[in-house]
Amino acid sequence: MLRGGGATVPPAGAGALRKARREQQLVSKRLLRDEALEEAEEGCVAMIFGEAEIQQFLQLAQRGTEEKEREGALVSLRRGLQRPETQQTFIRLEGSIRTLVGLLTSNQALLQLEAARCLHELSHSEQSAVVEACLPATSYLLTYLSGHSSDFIELCLYTLGNLIVESEAVRRQLLPQGIVPALAACIQSPHLTVLEALGYALSQLLQAKEAPEKIIPSVLGSTLPQHMLQLLQPGPKLNLGVAVEFAWCLHYIICSQVNNALLITQGALSTLGLLLLDLAGAVQRTEDAGLELLACPVLRCLSNLLTEAAAEAVGGQLQLRDERVVAALFILLQFLLQKQPSLLPEGLWLLNNLTANSPSFCTSLLSLDLIEPLLHLLSVSNVVSVLVLTVLCNVAEKGPAYCQRLWPGPLLSSLLDTLAFSDTEVVGQSLELLQLLFLYQPGAAQAFLQQSGLQALQRHEEVAQLQDRVHALQQTALHG
């Protein structure tokens, strides 16, 4: 439904985007095209050029006498190339790409820039034919990455990123052409604009469906991971736009599970942990700065990395047993609750992974008084409630010393509330927690009875997934 451009594409609401993601068609640059078309329709500037006009522009660009004239021709061409129709005509015109590539590699710097912009327009296309028509230019785009003009490099990188995401044929060519070493060299640039563009291009490369087999191994074998981690080091030199891109790159690498142990030895856990602390600090200081864009991939990376066996052995600047991580996470949870509640599950996922096998972190939750704030999240959504209850179970299952600290307090009444939910998962997790409390905390069952717990249980007696546990709890409550 999001393929096939043109006037029939419906406006992209968030629901449409979710569907696109599920169908694995969530391609950032695509929707861009349609919106720009809407604007163009309003402003009626980007015209559709025919063959003859395109020919004219190209000839003028190549052989014009006045430099301004030549540049102007390319500017006009570029505007026309905003329209898919013009793009189609362009690529079908014999010699057009060749001419454009010739201008791209000419010794006239400003013509070169304009030619690159034309190519960039083509790279936005949804039509794989148009994108693949740009193949002859890729070796030059890569070559220019080791140049020095930051403007130009930035443009080349965004163009490459767009081409990469659209076509497997392009990726199949870029890899042997040396895109990974080219990016590894380019990532040493001091220019933030270049770095952000590079991060974008790399993130698109790492998202490709064949990335785990064909791309990520060579990226891991290059110096890219080290540089990426360096660019994610918190401190005065950290730039948000750049960090966002590379955090997403890391996420795509890590969730592909190719060789996370390597990343851990390079200090990924430590760097990301420190970044989390920094994020929590920033969130307290700054209003509305888009920090959730960075928080999301950082949370994901940390959560996934914690499941690696290698995570156990880790040392480094930040021990992943450092209590400050929990403090930071809760500050971020509060931030997310206000700013982007849909990202709460990601934060709670990390909390689960931190607490599951860690008595120390469970103790931190208790000693830092974080149970009550946690309970506060129970009203947000079913997914969030299940996660909160899971974390509470992580704490409770460690025994009486832990349950004692969970008691008394608001926990019981929160549980009675969740028992009133209709969602089976939420209720199921509540039952698990109840059982642990009954087992380890004397008086819990009694208190439960006194607060009409049995009635709360009754409504679930017939539910298949819950029955057995409901009955078991009823027995325990009544008979000990």
Partner 1 sequence: MQLPPALHARLAGAPGSAEPLPVERDPAARTAPFRFAPRPVRFPREHDFFEEGDVQRHLYLQDVLMQVGGAPERPRVPEFTCQVAGCCQVFDALEDYEHHYHTLHRNVCSFCKRAFPSGHLLDTHILEWHDSLFQILAERQDMYQCLVEGCTEKFRTSRDRKEHLVMRHLYPADFRFDKPRKSRGPVMPGAAEQVLAEALGDDGVPSEGDAMEVCSEHVEPPPVPAGERRAYSHREMNSCPSAALAQLPRIWPERYHLPSVLVKVPREDLKGPRREISTSNGGSSAALWRCCRASPPRHGGPRTLARATLHVAGL
359-367 and 344-355 helices, crossing angle to 10°:
120
With contacts defined by CB under 8 A, how many residues of the chain interact with partner 1? 174
Burial of 165 (0-12, 13-18, 19+ CB in 10 A): buried
Is the Cβ–Cβ distance between 176 and 137 less than 8 Å? no
Please give the residues from 52 up to 91 whose contact with partner 1 meets the rule CB under 8 A: 62-63, 75, 78, 82
Least Å from the CB of residue 450 to partner 1: 23
Least Å from the CB of residue 370 to partner 1: 7
Least Å from the CB of residue 229 to partner 1: 18
* Residue 408: cis peptide before it, omega within 30 degrees of 0: yes
Least Å from the CB of residue 299 to partner 1: 9
Please give the residues from 381 up to 420 whose contact with partner 1 meets the rule CB under 8 A: 393-394, 397-402, 405
Please give the residues from 308 up to 347 whose contact with partner 1 meets the rule CB under 8 A: 318-319, 321-324, 327-328, 330-331, 333-334, 337, 340, 342-343, 345-346
How many other β-carbons are positioned within 10 Å of the β-carbon of residue 45? Answer: 11
Question: Pattern 218-257, binding to partner 1, x per CB under 8 A?
Answer: ----x-----------xxxxxxxxx-x---x---x--xxx
Q: Which stretch binds partner 1 (CB under 8 A): 13-21, 85-93, 125-133, 411-419?
A: 13-21
CA–CA distance, 431 with 419 (Å, rounded to integer): 8
92 binding partner 1? (CB under 8 A): no
Q: In degrees, to the nearest 5, what angle opens at C-alpha 92 toward C-alphas 152 and 179?
A: 35
Please give the residues from 413 up to 442 whose contact with partner 1 meets the rule CB under 8 A: 429, 431-433, 435-436, 439-440
The alpha carbons of the chain give a radius of gyration, in whole angstroms, of 28
Contact residue for partner 1 among 193, 266, 451, 474 (CB under 8 A): 193
Please give the residues from 135 up to 154 whose contact with partner 1 meets the rule CB under 8 A: 136, 139-140, 143-144, 146-152, 154
Helix (H) or strand (E) run with residue 55 in it:
helix 51-63
Please give the residues from 32 up to 51 whose contact with partner 1 meets the rule CB under 8 A: 32, 35-36, 38-40, 42-46
**Complex with partner 1: residue 265 or 435, whichever CB lies closer:** 435
Q: Which ranges of 286-423 does DSSP label H, i.e. alpha helix?
A: 292-306, 324-339, 344-355, 359-367, 371-376, 382-396, 400-405, 411-418
Structure tokens at 279: 């994020």
Least Å from the CB of residue 178 to partner 1: 4
Helix (H) or strand (E) run with residue 68 in it:
helix 67-80
Q: Which stretch binds partner 1 (CB under 8 A): 86-94, 185-193, 418-426, 448-456?
A: 185-193
Please give the residues from 253 up to 292 whose contact with partner 1 meets the rule CB under 8 A: 255-257, 277-278, 280-282, 284-286, 288-292
Sign of the torsion angle spanned by Cα atoms 6, 11, 16, 18: positive
Q: How far is CA 52 from CA 77, 78, 475, in A?
A: 12, 15, 87
Which residue type occupies 297? Answer: P
Please give the residues from 107 up to 136 whose contact with partner 1 meets the rule CB under 8 A: 107, 109-110, 112-114, 117, 120-121, 124, 136
